[in-house]
Amino acid sequence: DTAVSQTPKYLVTQMGNDKSIKCEQNLGHDTMYWYKQDSKKFLKIMFSYNNKELIINETVPNRFSPKSPDKAHLNLHINSLELGDSAVYFCASSLGPGKQETQYFGPGTRLLVL
């Protein structure tokens, strides 16, 4: 039944480590997104993929690398984690350009870097 799922839900790690967050959607959508929500609840786009092709790449440190093995999955790999990376990361999906524009969000991954 889950539409957009993310794993893990919580991630606590040390500075300098490398970690990945996985996202999967079973809605048949073409476009997937990663958003970051900071401690003040502000939400900002990081990346977007349409049919496995990167279409949005905001000003994000290159320690963050998205990967889309197929259009149902969009993973986020983070190298050399820093304290400032602590945030909630949301994955979302939508039908895609020219189609119904509503984005549906996963439950979020709460990342804490110590």
Stretch that binds other proteins, among 18-26, 70-78, 79-87, 106-114 (CB under 8 A): 106-114
3-state secondary structure of 84: helix
Q: Are the C-beta atoms of 65 and 55 separated by less than 8 Å?
A: no
Closest listed residue to residue 35, CA positions, set 80, 90, 88:
90
16 binds other proteins (CB under 8 A): no
Complex with other proteins: residue 67 or 107, whichever CB lies closer: 107
8 binds other proteins (CB under 8 A): no
Q: Which residues ranging from 30 to 89 are in contact with other proteins (CB under 8 A)?
A: 31, 33, 35, 40-45, 48, 55-56, 58, 88
Backbone φ, ψ for residue 31 (5° rounding): -120, 135
Q: Are the C-beta atoms of 17 and 81 separated by less than 8 Å?
A: yes
> Which stretches of the chain bind other proteins, using CB under 8 A?
31, 33, 35, 40-45, 48, 55-56, 58, 88, 90, 92, 94, 97, 101-105, 107-108, 110
